[in-house]
Each structure stands twice: as structure tokens, then as C-alpha cells.
DNA sequence: TAGTGGTCTAGACCACGTG
DNA sequence: ACGTGGTCTAGACCACTAC
């Protein structure tokens, strides 16, 4: 199935601007994996014919998706579907730097445990688990720099959505976790939100990080969303901020 | 001095796109307060004549500044220079919500102390204080909801830049602090960055918040920037996250 | 050299807010 | 009714990338 085989019917008299209708059509093509991660999408001239509008309108639609971080335009090459990789992880989703430094550092990640569990009530609700499969994966990782670990990460995802996931597959991925979601399970994390507070380290976390029980940690609750704001990942990070800071880079624009 | 009295010379053969040149010219007019907070800027047709380009080019320049949060377009009304107020404070710069809630709450702010001090070496460096005035204001506030205080805020600003600032003026402002900066001192906070870690409460903070010494707190170091990335404010918040969370709303696009 | 997206034009018409 | 920004057109030409 190629996008160029489809027939699109843009309503020229709708309340919704044509560029937004086109943006939504493209968004749905991405959602339905008619356009896949890393893929080159049709050039602007082709889209003009496909949607039967002028090039400025197509460009405005693509520009909107580019601003959302879903498409990437490369002059001289074409427009591509965004693909999660180590680079994007570092700049978009990994927010720690060594204290008194501005550079983000690439962390080492090590699996602690990989389990399949019965979901709690809260997990069922947040992940909107289907009645016929109320199991979740719990994946614990530790992350750090230079042979020292500072972060324990607990990832919760639905078994229904990641049915064929195994510990081996998880360990042997040679890319980021979000890239695994995207390439093996057609699940694309489009954006996240986070909440932060302090908590004392519990016994398990303390042991993993080599610190005392009750050492104050940052607790970061991250919610990962895919298309149409569907929640697909709950992640809780426990962070020992002895030598590192959580960073929120320059912000200003309203919705960020 | 009105912007319409100026002569702009957009270079049609420059490497820099014309829309970006116009964006920069407008940015400088804002920086030099030729265009002031809350002010209506000339309409698009006037700007077309002023810069001698077509309307699409003007619109692209304005769109860039709108994305930066500096201009606000209102259909049917015109385009305005952004002005800090309680609303923008809440949505752009205040990042706390009661636990298990999605709504941001308007906090009450209360002055704890207002002092004029000799700057430390670090303050001189970060705020780039001039040799002839190496003093700073230290302003402590406490913030909370519903008669309980959770946050102690320490603001450090240069006396050189806020020369006429007094405690009375500070207390009697009937708007946000950033609005005061903007309206009385022509200093417009364009954006911020933040770093977060955990720290134990010191005696003073513990007393203000009514908690035990060494209670784990979030420490948030915020740097406030004005035009051309000039640092004008150093703010440190100590947050007792017993009932509230620090929130980072949806993010995805690269620079956010 | 061919193909891509990026810039720019010179309009027309629409939607919104105010008087 | 008027003035504002928002949408849309149908081009031309430029800058970048790959072969």
C-alpha cells in the first residue's frame, strides 16, 4: 500500500483549512504505517497532484508536521518520516548532564530485570488495557556515565501492544528502546510529558545504585504518547543527583 | 521614535533569507524598545511597504517571532508585542500542580526578604556585572497554595540593570515579577532554562516552609534570558514536593 | 545534470473583531 | 462597513544533494 495509490478528498469549503486537512491525512497515513519511519515521502509536486491543491498549501501542511517533530525536511534530498535513534534520544528524551557542564553525555544502559506481570488497576486504566489481555512488561534498567550508575528506570508497557517482545529481543536491540518500539512493533512515541518530585531510595534502588536506603532521589514520572495522544509507556526514573542534574533546556513558546 | 520612521535596507542578494533579515530587524526594534510590550505593531501591509518585500515574506518573519513567543497575532485585531502577565506566568513559567491533578493552580506569593548585597565572584561572572557596580538584589519569596507554602524562591538580579528598584516598588507591583521587569526596567525575559536536583532543606528554608531541617527538596536553578541570550536573572527554587509535582508538559520538537 | 526543498512574488478571497 | 490577520493560488528562481 503506497500513499500515491490513495484518493484524498480535500473539502475546499470546510471550516477546517485545507492545509490542516492535508496535515491530518498525512498524520493518519503515518499512524496507519502507510508512511513508515525513516521513509522518504512523495515530493511536494506529487503531493500537489495527490491533494489537488497548490504547493504553498502542501508546504504549510508539511511544515506543521515538521514542527511536531514527525517529519524532517532535507533540502536537496526530500522529506522523511522521523525515526528514533541514539541521537534523537540524547537530544529529545534524555535530560541529564554532569553537574557544572553543558554537554549532554551518552549514558550506558544496562538491563536489571525483565518481567511479565499481571497489571494493576492503575496500569489497566492508564494504559487502557483490553479486557482480553491485562498483562504488562516491567523492564528495569540502570543508566550511568563512566562506570557509575545514577539512574534506575522502570518501564511499563502493555503486553497486548508488544505481544512478541522477549527479553532476548530487548537485550539484542542495537538501537534505542523507542527505535525498537518503532521498528518491531509499529509504535511511534510522538511525545512525552513528565512530573518530578523527591522520594527516598527504597532498598532495591539503593542496592542497584550503591547508595544508602532513604537517600533522596528525583522521581520522574514520564508518560509516553503515540499518535492521537494514546498512552503507550509509563516510565518512572529514580535519579541520584549527587553528580548530575536534570536539565530543561531553553523554553519560551507557549505550548513549548 | 516609531518604527515607521526608520529606513530598512533588506539585502536581496544576501546569503541570509530576506524573511530572516526582517525577523532580525524586528527583533532589534523590540530589543531597543522601539516596539514596546503590549504594543500593536504596524499591520502587514505597512510592513510590506517598510521593508519593500511581498506580504508572504513579511508573514514568514512575523511567524518566526510568533513561534519564539515574542509576538502574538490576533486575527481581526493585529499583531502585538508579547507582555508578561499572570496568565503567561502560569502557563509558561510556573510549573507546579497539586499531586494527581492536571490543573495548574495560581499560587500565592509572599515576600520573605529583600536585600541589596555585594555580588559574589560567581554572580559577577554569570550576570556579567559591570566593573562600576558589582551589587545585586537578593529577593526571597515563598509560594504556596491554600494557605500552605511549598516553595522558597531566591531571585538574584543585577543592581546595575534594576538601579531604581526598591522593596516598596517590588511589593506594590500589581502584576508578576516579569511584568515589573518589563514595564519599569525595559527588561524582557524572552526565555529560561532550568536544572533540577535534590538537596536537603537548610535551617532557613525549613523554617519558612514549616518542615524539618534536611527534609529532601527539589532544587531548581533557573536562568532567565533577555534578547540575544543575555542572562538577567538567576533564580533558585527550593520545593517541598509532599503534595505538589514539578510538571514538564508535552514535549517533542527538537529545540522544544 | 536532474531532482529536491527553500525563497519570493503579487495578487484574490475569507474569517474575525470592532464600531 | 472596515481593517485586521488567515488561507490559497500559480507561478519563478535559488540552494542543496547525489550521481
Give the per-residue pLDDT at A256: 44
Residue (of B136, B133, B144, B137) closest to B114 by Cα position: B137
pLDDT, one tens digit per residue, over B147-180 is 899 999 999 999 999 999 999 999 999 899 999 9
Mean pLDDT of the residues in chain A: 93
d(CA A208, CA A151) in angstroms, rounded, equals 9
Work out the pLDDT band at B247, boundaries 50, 70, 90. very high
Give the per-residue pLDDT at B29: 95
Range B227-236 average pLDDT: 96
Give the per-residue pLDDT at B256: 45
Closest Cβ–Cβ partner in A92, A192, A194 for B254: A92
Give the per-residue pLDDT at A93: 85
Work out the pLDDT band at A255, boundaries 50, 70, 90. very low
Q: Mean pLDDT check: name the lowest of A26-30, A100-104, A199-203.
A: A100-104
- Identify the residues numbered 5 to 64 in chain B whose C-beta atom is closer than 7 Å to any atom of strand D: 15, 41, 43-45, 55-56, 59
Give yes or no for a contact between A254 and B68, defined as CB atoms under 8 angstroms apart: no
Mean pLDDT of the residues in chain B: 93
pLDDT, one tens digit per residue, over B74-132 is 999 999 999 998 888 877 888 999 998 877 778 899 999 999 999 999 999 999 999 99
pLDDT surpassing 90 at residue A254: no
Which helix (H) or strand (E) segment holds residue A27: the answer is: helix A18-31
Give the per-residue pLDDT at A253: 56
Nearest protein residue by Cα to C1' of nucleotide C6: A75
Give the per-residue pLDDT at B86: 83
The three cell numbers of residue A42 are: 512523495
H-type alpha helices, chain B: 18-31, 44-51, 55-67, 86-88, 121-126, 167-172, 177-185, 203-209
Contact A248 B217 (CB under 8 A): no
Give yes or no for a contact between B35 and B81, defined as CB atoms under 8 angstroms apart: yes
Say yes or no: B210 contacts chain A, CB-CB below 8 A.
Answer: no
Range A38-61 average pLDDT: 95
Give the per-residue pLDDT at B102: 75
Contact A190 B216 (CB under 8 A): no
Residues in chain A within 8 Å Cβ distance of B97: 195
Shortest CA distance from B193: residue in chain A: A250
Residues in chain B within 8 Å Cβ distance of A253: 67-69, 256
Contact B248 A195 (CB under 8 A): yes
What does the longest C-alpha to C-alpha distance in chain A come to? 66
d(CA B124, CA B121) in angstroms, rounded, equals 5
Query: % helix / strand / coil in chain A, to the nearest 5?
Result: 30, 35, 35
Work out the pLDDT band at A103, boundaries 50, 70, 90. confident
Find which of A13-17, A251-255, B195-199 is predicted with most confidence, using mean pLDDT.
Answer: B195-199
Q: Which residue has the cell 496568565?
A: B87
> What contacts 24+ positions apart, CB below 8 Å, involve A76-82?
A77/A40, A78/A40, A78/A41, A78/A43, A79/A40, A79/A41, A79/A43, A79/A44, A80/A38, A80/A39, A80/A40, A80/A41, A81/A30, A81/A35, A81/A36, A81/A37, A81/A38, A81/A39, A81/A41, A82/A37
Nucleotides of D under 7 A from a protein CB: 3-12, 15-18
Give the per-residue pLDDT at A237: 98
d(CA B187, CA A144) in angstroms, rounded, equals 40
Residue B148 backbone phi and psi in degrees, to 5: -125, 140
Mutant choice from B97, B199, B249, B251 vs A, greatest count of A C-beta within 10 A: B251
pLDDT, one tens digit per residue, over A115-167 is 999 999 999 999 999 999 999 999 999 999 888 999 999 999 999 999 999 99
Give the per-residue pLDDT at B253: 58
How distant is the Cα of B5 from the closest Cα of chain A, in angstroms?
A: 30
Nearest protein residue by Cα to C1' of nucleotide C17: B76
Residue A41 forms beta bridges with which residues?
A79
Say yes or no: B250 contacts chain A, CB-CB below 8 A.
Answer: yes
Mutant choice from B202, B248, B255 vs A, greatest count of A C-beta within 10 A: B248
* A49 beta carbon to strand D: under 7 Å: no
pLDDT surpassing 90 at residue B230: yes
Indicate the burial class of A241 (C-beta count within 10 angstroms; 0-12, 13-18, 19 or more): buried
Give yes or no for a contact between B191 and A252, defined as CB atoms under 8 angstroms apart: yes
Range A86-102 average pLDDT: 84
Amino acid at each position: 500500500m503506497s500513499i500515491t495509490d490513495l484518493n484524498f478528498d480535500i473539502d475546499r469549503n470546510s471550516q477546517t483549512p485545507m492545509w490542516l486537512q492535508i496535515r491530518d491525512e498525512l498524520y493518519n497515513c503515518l499512524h496507519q504505517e502507510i508512511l513508515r519511519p525513516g521513509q522518504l515521502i512523495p515530493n511536494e509536486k506529487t503531493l500537489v497532484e495527490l491533494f489537488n491543491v497548490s504547493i504553498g498549501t502542501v508546504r504549510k501542511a508539511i511544515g506543521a508536521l515538521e514542527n511536531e517533530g514527525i517529519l524532517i525536511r532535507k533540502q536537496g534530498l526530500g522529506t522523511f518520516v522521523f525515526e528514533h535513534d541514539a541521537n534523537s534520544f540524547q537530544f529529545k528524551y534524555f535530560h541529564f548532564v554532569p553537574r557544572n557542564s553543558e554537554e549532554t553525555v551518552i549514558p550506558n544502559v544496562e538491563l536489571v530485570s525483565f518481567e511479565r506481570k499481571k497489571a494493576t488497576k492503575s496500569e489497566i486504566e492508564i494504559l487502557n488495557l483490553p479486557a482480553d489481555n491485562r498483562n504488562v512488561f516491567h523492564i528495569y534498567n540502570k543508566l550511568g556515565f563512566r562506570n557509575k550508575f545514577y539512574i534506575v528506570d522502570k518501564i511499563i508497557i502493555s503486553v497486548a501492544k508488544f505481544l512478541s517482545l522477549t527479553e532476548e529481543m530487548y537485550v539484542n536491540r542495537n538501537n534505542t528502546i523507542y527505535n525498537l518500539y518503532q521498528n518491531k512493533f509499529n509504535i511511534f512515541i510522538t511525545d512525552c510529558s513528565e512530573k518530578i518530585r523527591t522520594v527516598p531510595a527504597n532498598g532495591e534502588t539503593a542496592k542497584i545504585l550503591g547508595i544508602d536506603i532513604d537517600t533522596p532521589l528525583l522521581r520522574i514520572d514520564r508518560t509516553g504518547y503515540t499518535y492521537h495522544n494514546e498512552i503507550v509507556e509509563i516510565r518512572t526514573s529514580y535519579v541520584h543527583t549527587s553528580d548530575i542534574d536534570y536539565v530543561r533546556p531553553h523554553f519560551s513558546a507557549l505550548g513549548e
